[in-house]
Structure 1
């Protein structure tokens, strides 16, 4: 019997899943699949990674839901191309359905998979699911890639209709008649964390549900108050791994808070830019900013990583990141700006550290925001703008509630002196960047 595979990636849910709905409507019995991708996992810095623990638990939930509905869920550990090539032979696969991913590695992987499937007489179908508008769906009037968020936001919201936020019917169609069941010995055992060489890391994960209405309504008032644990929706993790759909999250924001809606649209914007300019994953978009003579002092970088800079808001943020995998929005901006300007360290060092630590790590957002702070991106803060950590602290944590939680020794002899003077660090960075830009002209 010919079957189709539905390959879960950044969409760990059954409800409102565009690609899954298409697979269930294909007329072929569906085998849901998740691949623990060694091309990604082999590069994780730690054997106990909270993100992998989260993914593993969500995959197990999908497997149990599939079995309860009368189907079989496949899980494999390996390189996707090799895994899929074997599954095509094992199950007489007529097609593989999935949802699009816009990161450079993902687009290269999917191109290779589609080519392999074609050789075996199977089809590859990828659907837009994790964003509302992708690739070149929002362009300037002259047909170029938009690099001004305000104009992008205006065009985006003008096209954002009620119909685009309507959920797919994947949940309703997820039933025995549309699923394929195979004997356990043919399905194979699902990998465990231990069998893949990893360990569990217990950490707080935001619940897989929409935030409370009050949190959303007050978001614009509380989002820049890091001491307020309910000041943000904390939905970035669920959006990153697709345990909630962007449509349901955006629909709530559209109805309740335009500021939150705009923040979610930033996510689409950065994914669009990364798709158009995949080289920006590893190099600055602005050619004049590619030969900046960063200091890259390893001892100072380590102090930044460990929250020992002598700047309380920076140190509080880095300690929270290290312990919880989360950073509030304004604190992310402060710690990033301090690294690339005050310490004058390459933005890619910070981007990689965030990639290792953030539960909600998303390449488009992370690269886009780091290059924004460094002044090197397609959309950037002016390269000569240097935010004062003390001014940021006065704005977002004037009573030091957040700081005292994460840096209890602040104000005592145990707390280090500032690693660099603000004025000196600012002038050093600005002059070096100015000289490099002149030389590159």
Structure 2
């Protein structure tokens, strides 16, 4: 009796076993399953993953491979053009079907079309599934059948359509073929830094993999959810979910986050607690960003509001580098940029403040900031990154107005009043009293001396004056 040909499950950003419709369908097919991951750094030439993201990817794949041991299966690692690798492997193994979860970046959507065409020409079926969003981009339209450009009506429409069925369990079976195809050694891809190994801070802060994602969600729900609405703006305390890299790599789904939040949150008068409601709205803001990218493929490169195409950006390499290194002379900005460099992540409130500083205090193009975040974030996500930078710049969909210019001193006094966050990431200011830690240049000479701070030596003076920078930014806006 001839054994049926295998099927292929192509892992992309669905690096999980639970709540994975494509993987479940592959396992239920009745045929052996080849589990494939392709390291394709060709298709997205302009947006190849940054070093921090690659570190997270390596450990996520390593842990997923370990989770597959009970199935008697493992991942086949291949490198190259995803379309070519998958087509050739399918033909080589006489696979009947390729299963995969869709992605939403412009090159990924194009890749899916080409792959389906190539497989069809070889008599092989391609089955694409959703699963990484709460609802697919084609499913939400305005009354005039146009994509949403404003968040609030998008949120309301999404709530009406949201599916509430239970979370899919892990597949019962994922049988391996008798002879697995050859595989690269994951370590040969050199996704982790070695000489020097600067990833210590990443390892201290993250536990990649499906189990790490589950633990992060559980900890957030149990310890922080009901205070989320107030604590999420305080960078000096652990008040956010820190789920963003796990969501980006598909180690957990937004649907799982939604369901588990509702099942465990404190209910008030039949409604979610305030903290839970705010968290769920953040999940739908993530959806909004992905829908925007799907319908506006040039979102990372062109302003959504076209009048900003003529904005008079400045080019100042020295100030850009000072911002990147956390040496602007504004402690809250510098703390955020140093947290990013050390841990591959930055607190959400501080992301807005650092982005606003680059765009409006320095008048440097938002795309420069977007690129730096892409290179340094473990949760670097094209949709979230582009939509958020455009939001701060005032040129995006439903964006903050450009004339809303954060004062980093007042923001620090409001959200880090005791300077806990600043003292952690800008330790040279650790002995300054809270009264002066947000604006050390205003500290009396004797106070600075007692704290061991010499401005211009131990810590830089501000590279730009807030009031002057604000006036310059508003003048630039008027010039449009």
- TM-score, normalised with respect to structure 1: 0.91
Alignment-derived partner of residue 181 in structure 1: 177
Alignment-derived partner of residue 328 in structure 2: 309
Give the alignment's Cα RMSD to 1 decimal. Answer: 2.1
Contact residue 335 and residue 425 of structure 2 kept, 8 A: yes
Q: Does 1:208 align with 2:208?
A: no
Alignment-derived partner of residue 20 in structure 1: 23
Contact residue 41 and residue 48 of structure 2 kept, 8 A: no
Alignment-derived partner of residue 162 in structure 1: 164
**Alpha-carbon distance in structure 2 between the residues aligned to 1:282 and 1:338:** 20
Alignment-derived partner of residue 468 in structure 2: 424
Query: Post-superposition shift, 1:300?
Result: 0.5
**Alpha-carbon distance in structure 2 between the residues aligned to 1:50 and 1:182:** 37
**Alpha-carbon distance in structure 2 between the residues aligned to 1:197 and 1:25:** 33
Partner residue of 1:324 out of 317, 333, 343: 343
Query: Post-superposition shift, 1:198?
Result: 5.2
Contact residue 67 and residue 73 of structure 1 kept, 8 A: no
Contact residue 344 and residue 378 of structure 2 kept, 8 A: yes
Query: Post-superposition shift, 1:208?
Result: 2.5
Contact residue 20 and residue 98 of structure 1 kept, 8 A: yes
Alignment-derived partner of residue 58 in structure 2: 56
Query: Post-superposition shift, 1:262?
Result: 0.5
Q: Rate the CA distance shift 1:344–1:81 in 2: closer, same or farther, 3 A.
A: same
Q: Give 1:330-409 correspondences, 5 Å limit.
A: 330-409=349-428
**Alpha-carbon distance in structure 2 between the residues aligned to 1:86 and 1:357:** 34
Query: Post-superposition shift, 1:97?
Result: 0.7
**Alpha-carbon distance in structure 2 between the residues aligned to 1:46 and 1:208:** 20
Deviations for 1:6-50, whole angstroms, at most 9, x for unmatched residues? 111111111111111122233433211111122279878999x34
Q: Rate the CA distance shift 1:99–1:195 in 2: closer, same or farther, 3 A.
A: closer
Contact residue 254 and residue 261 of structure 1 kept, 8 A: no
Would you identify which runs of 4 or more consecutive aligned residues in structure 1 move more than 4 Å? 40-47, 195-198
**Alpha-carbon distance in structure 1 between the residues aligned to 2:193 and 2:345:** 20
**SS across alignment from 1:26:** coil
Contact residue 104 and residue 294 of structure 2 kept, 8 A: yes
Deviations for 1:143-173, whole angstroms, at most 9, x for unmatched residues? 221111111112222332422xx2224x143
Q: Rate the CA distance shift 1:151–1:244 in 2: closer, same or farther, 3 A.
A: same
**Alpha-carbon distance in structure 2 between the residues aligned to 1:286 and 1:41:** 25
Alignment-derived partner of residue 33 in structure 2: 30
Alignment-derived partner of residue 90 in structure 1: 92
- TM-score, normalised with respect to structure 2: 0.84
Contact residue 77 and residue 196 of structure 1 kept, 8 A: no
How many residue pairs are counted as aligned between the two chains? 426
Query: Post-superposition shift, 1:196?
Result: 4.6
Partner residue of 1:284 out of 269, 278, 303: 303
**Alpha-carbon distance in structure 2 between the residues aligned to 1:208 and 1:27:** 30
Deviations for 1:203-229, whole angstroms, at most 9, x for unmatched residues? 23143222321212221121011011x
Q: Does 1:220 align with 2:245?
A: no
Partner residue of 2:73 out of 65, 71, 74: 71
Partner residue of 2:141 out of 139, 142, 147: 139
Query: Post-superposition shift, 1:246?
Result: 1.8
Contact residue 373 and residue 381 of structure 1 kept, 8 A: yes
Unaligned 5+ residue runs, structure 2? 266-275, 430-439, 441-452
Unaligned 5+ residue runs, structure 1? 437-441
